[in-house]
Amino acid sequence: MCGIVGVTGTNKTVSILIDGLKRLEYRGYDSAGIYVNDQAGKDFLIKRAGRITNLEAALTPEVQGMAGIGHTRWATHGEPNQANAHPQYSADKRFYLVHNGVIENYKDLKEEYLSDVKFKSQTDTEVIVQLVDKFVTAYDMDTKAALLKVLRLISRDSSYAFALMDKEQPDTLYVAKNKSPLLVGIGKGYNMVGSDALSMLNETNEFMEIEDHELVIVQPDHVTIESFDNEEKHRDTFTVDMDPNAADKGAYPFYMLKEIDEQPAVMRRLVQEYLGANGKPQIDEKLLAQMQEADHLYIVGAGTSYHAGLVGARLFERFAQIPTSVHISSEFAYEQPLLSKKPFFIFLSQSGETADSREVLVHVNENKWPSLTITNVDKSTLSREATHTLLLYAGPEIAVASTKAYTAQVAVEAILAKALGEYLGLEAAQKFDVKDELAKVANGMQALVDSKDEIEAIASHALSKPRNAFYIGRGLDWSVSLEAALKLKEISYVQAEGFASGELKHGTIALIEKNTPVIGIITQSRTAGLTRSNLEETAARGANILTIASRHLAKEDDSIILPDVDEMISPLLSVVPAQLLAYYTSLGKGLDVDKPRNLAKSVTVQ
Ligand code: G6P
């Protein structure tokens, strides 16, 4: 949540900041701001409530500089207005700070050190910048020493990614992080910082990691990394092999539609990356060896990734026969269940940065338990800190509502379950032709995205007016119901729930009124008849029932028919119409599909 950029050493500063912020807008979009300094005596602070376009519109031609910092915000402290937007600055207008995260002890710091200072905002960030100023002016410290003192005073449970500028050293960015993501970008003659690699990819593909509790000083031709004890550290750079245009919308009205459409290609890419010519999974043997020693797999994730984990658990149990449970990271992190003797952890995270998931991983590492992160972002925090990583190869996902990352996560889980089962010599895994099945999935997805018009018609007919809606199913169809309902509620604001269809009668059926949409997902032979009966029960109470059914289980009146694939990976297809139904419902209501209210794509606060 919140995106940060900074650059020093170029007269393109303003355009680099704005371009970077636009690429980070997925991290928060309720207000934005920049501070730039021309190093010849002029500086500018421009902030606006609302989207980056509002900020851009406020820039006049004279706003130019040789260094600057920028921020796009997802409010945690104080409403999203101009005063609370970042950069926050000190009372004497010497220091400017952008921040992503939450300072848990900001009230204590304010009380103890800043009772004489008049505050302009309600943010925790302003406390930090005022405190740096206080230590510099009142205690006669230099900026570095003052910042270090502040960093030491910030409580350990706080999270931050900071970029600080001092008007008296206008070519220097002071940078530090704890828990929140931040990278240095190495340019030619100038250097940058950003919350992710994509925000800097137009300028460079060479990056440097920053670890928690380091102070990094970024200058045009030099980057210094030190521990809080002034010990200088050497850090190698790494390159990211990604086309910056991969994050462009092209001719699509919204990223979400582009990302839904990309799913067949993502499936084919995963086949290429992970399955050899003979269909044998190419998975690191060390990973398989560690997994086979486990007596229980724990899958941890949030939001859509948690839902992908629900499907994965069934795959691991079926093909590798290892008991598997799935946990919401924000629950697991603070209320840990009793664990088995030999646990193995699988972290699912599109971004690789979700704060609650990271909290669990820190604990896992403290206990030296082995782990795997399945993520879309190479070198992300969860990827760097887990024992193993498998990448999703889905390309940048920009829309807040996750689509292609979900299907990529399920596909990677299917490949891994097959690989592990084969490694263990299990027959079910040997019989599961994952390469052939994923090829069928890719074709099936293509057929579904090609029939958008029909799905749009269903959305406008059935979902545009009702206040609430239900997705129901059993087993894997229930897992998909949860994801389908999440898609609908997050972007169209229809109050949608996913239910185990057998549970409806135990309470929820009381909510069914005339024309309440109830969408049944039917892809599992064992439970298809039961789910159909449950749908009928709701129809008898006035529900408007719709069905998404696999061809081999389909009936004449079904609303959407899915091409047949192995039932174990049917979620890869049944989720696609649900994604499209949510998209068209949101579109029909004239909402901003990619940036739904109150949400952000990367949740880096707990
Ligand atoms: C946010 C996003 C969701 C995502 C969740 C977990 O809520 O809007 O799309 O599923 O975070 O994110 P992760 O990056 O860990 O998968």
Compute the distance between CA of residue 33 and CA of residue 370 in angstroms, rounded to an integer.
42
Residue 249 has pLDDT above 90, yes or no: no
Q: Dihedral of the CA atoms 102, 105, 108, 114 (nearest 10)? A: -40
Catalytic residue among 2, 144, 179, 595: 2
Residue 124 has pLDDT above 80, yes or no: yes
Tokens of 203: 């300028």
Compute the distance between CA of residue 168 and CA of residue 215 in angstroms, rounded to an integer.
19
Atom of ligand 1 nearest to the CA of 306: 10
Topology of domain 3-246 in CATH is: Glutamine Phosphoribosylpyrophosphate, subunit 1, domain 1 (3.60.20)
Tokens of 333: 């992190």
Mutate which of 2, 25, 304, 604 to test ligand 1's pocket (most atoms within 8 Å of Cβ)? Answer: 304
The one-character DSSP state at 518 is: E
Ligand 1: distance of its center to the CA of 37 in Å?
A: 35
CATH for 451-592 is 3.40.50.10490
Compute the distance between CA of residue 413 and CA of residue 312 in angstroms, rounded to an integer.
6
Residues 29/74, Cβ–Cβ less than 8 Å: yes
Residue 604 has pLDDT above 80, yes or no: no
> What pLDDT does residue 174 have?
98
> What pLDDT does residue 78 have?
84
Atom of ligand 1 nearest to the CA of 301: 15
* Closest residue by Cα to residue 176 from 149, 206, 196, 151: 151
* DSSP-derived secondary structure for 221-257: TEEEEEETTS-EE----EE----GGGG--TT-SSHHH
Compute the distance between CA of residue 582 and CA of residue 592 in angstroms, rounded to an integer.
12
Query: Does the model's pTM come out above 0.75?
Result: yes
Query: pLDDT, tens digit, for every residue of 22-77?
Result: 999 888 889 999 999 999 999 999 999 999 999 999 999 999 999 999 999 988 88
Catalytic residue among 134, 418, 595, 601: 601
> Do the domains 249-446 and 451-592 sit in the same CATH topology, yes or no?
yes
Mutate which of 300, 377, 402, 604 to test ligand 1's pocket (most atoms within 8 Å of Cβ)? Answer: 402
* Residue 281 β-bridge partners: 275
CATH for 249-446 is 3.40.50.10490
Query: pLDDT, tens digit, for every residue of 358-375?
Result: 999 999 999 999 999 999
- Ligand 1 neighbourhood includes 373 CB (under 6 angstroms): no
Residue 373's SS3 state is: strand
> What pLDDT does residue 187 have?
95
Q: At what angle do helices 476-492 and 303-315 cross, to 10 degrees?
A: 170
The one-character DSSP state at 571 is: H
* Closest residue by Cα to residue 348 from 339, 360, 336: 360
Residues 17/7, Cβ–Cβ less than 8 Å: yes
> What pLDDT does residue 179 have?
87
- Ligand 1 neighbourhood includes 330 CB (under 6 angstroms): no
Mean pLDDT confidence for 216-244: 92
- Ligand 1 neighbourhood includes 300 CB (under 6 angstroms): no
Burial class (CB in 10 A: 0-12, 13-18, 19+), 530: middle
* Closest residue by Cα to residue 601 from 346, 249, 305, 347: 305
Atom of ligand 1 nearest to the CA of 400: 8
- How much of the chain, in percent, has pLDDT values that exceed 90? 88
Q: Is 167 a catalytic residue?
A: no
- Ligand 1 neighbourhood includes 374 CB (under 6 angstroms): no
Lowest mean pLDDT among 220-224, 453-457, 509-513: 509-513
Closest residue to atom 8 of ligand 1, CA basis: 601
Query: pLDDT, tens digit, for every residue of 64-88?
Result: 999 999 999 988 888 889 999 999 9
Q: Is 2 a catalytic residue?
A: yes
Compute the distance between CA of residue 494 and CA of residue 443 in angstroms, rounded to an integer.
31
Compute the distance between CA of residue 96 and CA of residue 166 in angstroms, rounded to an integer.
7
Residue 246 has pLDDT above 80, yes or no: no
Average pLDDT of the residues of the chain: 95
Ligand 1: distance of its center to the CA of 505 in Å?
A: 31
**Amino acid occupying residue 454:** E
Residue 605 has pLDDT above 90, yes or no: no
- Ligand 1 neighbourhood includes 527 CB (under 6 angstroms): no
Burial class (CB in 10 A: 0-12, 13-18, 19+), 124: buried
Residue 335 has pLDDT above 90, yes or no: no
> What pLDDT does residue 389 have?
98
Compute the distance between CA of residue 536 and CA of residue 532 in angstroms, rounded to an integer.
6
Residues 295/269, Cβ–Cβ less than 8 Å: no
- Kindly indicate the confidence band of residue 393, based on its pLDDT and cuts at 50, 70 and 90: very high
Residues 46/63, Cβ–Cβ less than 8 Å: yes
* DSSP-derived secondary structure for 20-75: HHHHHGGG--SEEEEEEE-SSS-EEEEEEES-HHHHHHT--TT---SEEEEEEE--
Q: What is the CA angle 250-254-260, rounded to 5?
A: 90
- Ligand 1 neighbourhood includes 400 CB (under 6 angstroms): yes
Inter-CA distances, 380 with 21, 80, 196, 238, 479, Å: 19, 28, 9, 12, 27
Q: Dihedral of the CA atoms 593, 597, 603, 606 (nearest 10)? A: -160
Mean pLDDT confidence for 97-103: 95
- Kindly indicate the confidence band of residue 598, based on its pLDDT and cuts at 50, 70 and 90: confident
Domain coordinates in residue numbering, the chain: 3-246, 249-446, 451-592
Residues in the chain, overall count = 606
- Ligand 1 neighbourhood includes 354 CB (under 6 angstroms): yes
- Kindly indicate the confidence band of residue 251, based on its pLDDT and cuts at 50, 70 and 90: confident
> What pLDDT does residue 531 have?
97
Tokens of 376: 């879309």
Residues 325/268, Cβ–Cβ less than 8 Å: no
> What pLDDT does residue 577 have?
98
